[in-house]
Each structure stands twice: as C-alpha cells, then as structure tokens.
Amino acid sequence: MTFSIVGQVGDGFGVAVASKFPFVGAVVPQARLGVGAVATQAMARVGYRSVALDALAAGASADEAVVACTSSDDEREHRQLGVVGVDSQATYTGGSCMDWAGGVSGRESTGGYAIQGNILTGPEVVAAMEAAWLGSAGASLTDRLIEALLAGDAAGGDSRGRQGAALYAVLPGAGYDHCGVLADLRVDDHADAPRELARLLRLNDLVFGGPELVLPWSGESDEPHAPSEPVTLADEVGRRLARLGHHGEVTQALASWAGEANYEMRLAPDGIDSKVLAALRDATRTPNLT
C-alpha cells in the first residue's frame, strides 16, 4: 500500500514515502547519523527500523540487516523493507505482498539506494523512481528523494490513490541548531500528498538550509531598471527591506527581516543567499518596484 525510496548522498541518509494510508510518516521511515536509513512497509513492522539500524551500526551489511529483521518473523512474507548503509544496500519484498509489489537497489559514486512498493499500478512505478534518482545525480539528498517520489507518483504510484507522504533525512551538522536532522516532514491526510510534501520541503529548505549561492552586494541587480542608472543588489535589497519596515544599513536591515521571516540560518556576511533574495522579492512584489 506504499512506495518509498531509501537513499544516500555522501554522509546523508534519508527516506521518502507516499501511500494511500494516513500517517505513513509515523510508520515507515527512519535514519540514523553515520549509520544509514530504513523503510518498513506493506504489513509494516515498526520494530524493523531499530533492528536494521542497530545491525548496520554493529557492522552488518544491508543484506544482513534484512536477515536480522526477517529471519525470526513468521509474517515476513507479508512485509517489505528497504535498507541503505554506509557501503551497502538491499530491498526485500515478501512473497505474499499484494500486487504489484517489488523493488530494486543499487549503488552509485555518492552512495546506495533502495526502492520498493506494494499495491502499485505496476513495475513502472519503481522503474520511474530509479530513473529519477539516477538522473538527479549532483543534486542534494532531499531534492533527489522528492524527485524520485514524484516520479513514482506520476507513473501511477499507489493503485488506490493518494493520502499520506513523508520525508525524513539526516546529515551531520544540518538542520536547526546543527542537530543533524536535514528534514522531518509529514503530510498525514491530503488529496495530493506527494506534491504537498514537495511544497513543504521547499519551505523546509528555506528555513533550515544554510547559505548556498551567495550573491555579492556589489553585483548589479537583475531587476528592471533604467540603463543609465545602474542598481546594485545592495540598493535593491535596501529598498525592498524599507518597504517592509526594515531601515538602515543593508546587512542589519536584512538580519532584522530574516529574523522575523525565520530565514536567519541563510544569512551570509558578504552578500545575500539567492533563495532569501527570491523570498524577499516575493514578499515585496509590486508592478512598480525595482
């Protein structure tokens, strides 16, 4: 009743999942810093998550972690599991899972992945997810996870429809107060849960991500202005901040507004993060403002 991807990009591990099942984020995904990630589904056994991660932490491979979960479980034929560790990956589908059910796992230069699903419209769902994951090489872990999930949804996804989705990912030093949680998002009851999850991920990235593409204050603004009157990025940002009630030196005014908008983790000393600039422009968008 669910499709998921467990993925690794360098030191980051995460899971994205969608289902015609509410509160799927409470059941399926888990990840642990420096260890790996796991998804348990079909007739999910929540205890598989800690068993698999403990096995990985003790030095077991992903295949061995699957065995640790399933070997003593009389209901294993009804369960599905995806596991990715530091240097291994595995997917497991019990023979009694409801059609269509199956999975695929593999490894690339940045890490491993495991994709699995049950009660799907067909094998094209898993194939589309794998193609999206491999085709997004170079992007961030969370961007790759959500792209794969959306590809699976577009290919048919859960044959019963949409309701729940979740994404959980960890990366050393990431997240609020650098706690290591890159994303912890759930959509518990929504008619288009995968796309709502994607929307929340964009917001999560803006609030909890660090500076990425930092544009220098001295650079010329790309907003419309008279050719004879060059406008620096500092000029544009200062005017926009003033319209929002934040006056004075541009870096101080930006810090004041960013604190209100919860973007303070993206502040940079020598310019403005491109995503913060886009948010500021959205917040001050009027036909006559340059």
Q: Are residue 19 and residue 140 in the same domain, yes or no?
A: yes
Whether the predicted pLDDT of 234 surpasses 70: yes
Q: Does the global pTM surpass 0.75?
A: yes
Question: Strand, helix or coil at 39?
Answer: strand
Q: Are residue 115 and residue 189 in the same domain, yes or no?
A: yes
Percent pLDDT > 90 in the chain is 90
Q: Which of 80-89, 158-167, 277-286 has the lowest mean pLDDT?
A: 277-286
What is the DSSP annotation of 72-99?
T-TTGGGEEEEEEESS-EEEEE-TTSPS
If one compares 258 and 289, the residue with the highest pLDDT of the two is: 258
> Is residue 288 domain-resident?
no
Q: Are residue 192 and residue 253 in the same domain, yes or no?
A: no
Quote the domain boundaries for residue 231.
214-283
Q: How wide is the angle at C-alpha 27 spanned by C-alphas 144 and 182, nearest 5°? A: 40
Amino acid letter, 198: A
> Is residue 79 domain-resident?
yes
Q: Are residue 182 and residue 51 in the same domain, yes or no?
A: yes
Q: Which of 208, 229, 249 is a domain's end point?
A: 208
How high is the pLDDT of residue 226?
56
Confidence of residue 210 (pLDDT cuts 50, 70, 90): confident
Q: Are residue 175 and residue 88 in the same domain, yes or no?
A: yes
Q: Are residue 57 and residue 177 in the same domain, yes or no?
A: yes
Per-residue pLDDT tens digits for 168-206: 999 999 998 889 999 999 999 999 999 999 999 999 999
Confidence of residue 153 (pLDDT cuts 50, 70, 90): very high
Q: Are residue 279 and residue 145 in the same domain, yes or no?
A: no
CA–CA gap between residue 130 and residue 64 (Å, rounded): 23
Q: Are residue 270 and residue 126 in the same domain, yes or no?
A: no
Q: Are residue 79 and residue 137 in the same domain, yes or no?
A: yes
> Is residue 250 domain-resident?
yes
How high is the pLDDT of residue 223?
75
> Is residue 289 domain-resident?
no
How high is the pLDDT of residue 290?
43
Q: Are residue 190 and residue 62 in the same domain, yes or no?
A: yes
Amino acid letter, 232: T
Q: How far is CA 206 from CA 100, 102, 108, 110, 120, in A?
A: 37, 35, 28, 24, 33
Q: Which of 181, 208, 235 is a domain's end point?
A: 208
> Is residue 103 domain-resident?
yes
> Is residue 290 domain-resident?
no
> Is residue 223 domain-resident?
yes
Whether the predicted pLDDT of 222 surpasses 90: no
Whether the predicted pLDDT of 288 surpasses 80: no
| CATH classification of the domain holding 194 | 3.60.20.10
CA–CA gap between residue 55 and residue 69 (Å, rounded): 9
Q: Are residue 149 and residue 229 in the same domain, yes or no?
A: no
> Is residue 233 domain-resident?
yes
How high is the pLDDT of residue 289?
44
Q: Are residue 166 and residue 57 in the same domain, yes or no?
A: yes
Overall number of domains in the chain: 2
